[in-house]
Amino acid sequence: MHGAPDHPDDPRWTVAQRVADAVRRRFPADVLAVAVHGPLAHGDDDGGGTGEVGLLVATYRPGTGPPPATRRVDGVLVDLTVAAADEYLRQARTLTPLWPLTADRYVATRPLHDPTGWLCTLRDEHLGRLARARPAEFSAAARQAWYRGSAAHARAARLAEWYETDQALLMLGEARLAAATVTGLLSRTYFRDPGDAVRRTGLAGADMTEVGVVLTRQATELAARGRPVDGTVDDLLDG
């Protein structure tokens, strides 16, 4: 987990540090840690100083610190996430259908202020949870993501038949992303962001037919893992 930025002249890092310093000044008794997450945190992102800055403020207690907000600061978009440290650790220990899109925040953050090493605890808690996870947990999460993708794909197909092209494209985008998260869950692979997810799974630009083929293949794999995507009323009520 790195600290100093690789590109100190990048205005995004300058803005991030200014925000971190202001948060610490205004809420000195509340703030446990401040960190950068997202593409900028990886150190190989070249946004030309115009990309988004994702900031996490971890507080000692719920409801303290600054309010979550998204603003442009000196031309740089800042997305400020504020969460109580214990709650954020709880989230890091929870495996959900969105895990491929959220895990990066737990394992690839870069501290701007972390005197107690809390960010290392965050990473270790998440990695420990993954080490304990059973294959069935990933399959169950993948099945839920598949349902979202299948529903979005069916909706996109209907909208296309009705010549609602713009809406169909939006729903197709949702289907692509959901199918990408299924792939991530089945392979235990997480992504930096939604764009990275569809690129790395080969779904960026996939048309209606191609996404349908992927979803069908995923349904077959989920059935092979012990539970078909189609079931009975009893299956639904039994969870």
Question: How far does CA 33 lie from the centroid of its chain?
Answer: 20
Domain shared by 20 and 128, yes or no: yes
Within a domain: 3: no
Q: Which of the listed residues 69, 99, 132 is the one where a domain comes to its end? A: 132
Within a domain: 117: yes
Q: Collapsing DSSP states into helix, strand and coil, what is residue 156? A: helix
Domain shared by 158 and 83, yes or no: no
Q: Which helix (H) or strand (E) holds 139?
A: helix 135-161
Domain shared by 144 and 210, yes or no: yes
Sheet holding 69-73, edge to edge: 69-73, 76-84, 53-59, 31-37, 110-113
For residue 199, the model assigns a pLDDT of 96
Domain containing 91 equals 11-132
For residue 8, the model assigns a pLDDT of 58
pLDDT (tens digit per residue) in 180-210: 999 999 999 999 999 999 999 999 999 999 9
d(CA 88, CA 54): 16
pTM (2 d.p.): 0.91
Domain shared by 164 and 145, yes or no: yes
Domain shared by 120 and 195, yes or no: no
For residue 2, the model assigns a pLDDT of 45
Question: Residue 139: left (phi > 0), alpha (psi -120 to 50), or beta?
Answer: alpha
Domain shared by 30 and 66, yes or no: yes
Instruction: Give yes or no for a contact between 144 and 239, defined as CB atoms under 8 angstroms apart.
Output: no
Domain shared by 143 and 111, yes or no: no
Domain shared by 114 and 22, yes or no: yes
The list of the chain residues with pLDDT below 50 reads 1-2, 4
Domain shared by 139 and 77, yes or no: no
Q: Which of the listed residues 110, 132, 154 is the one where a domain comes to its end? A: 132
Domain shared by 115 and 94, yes or no: yes
CATH of the domain at 104: 3.30.460.10
Q: Which of the listed residues 82, 110, 132 is the one where a domain comes to its end? A: 132
Domain shared by 126 and 15, yes or no: yes
Burial of residue 124 (CB within 10 Å: 0-12, 13-18, 19+) is middle
Count how many domains the chain has.
2
Within a domain: 115: yes
Domain shared by 116 and 175, yes or no: no
For residue 44, the model assigns a pLDDT of 66
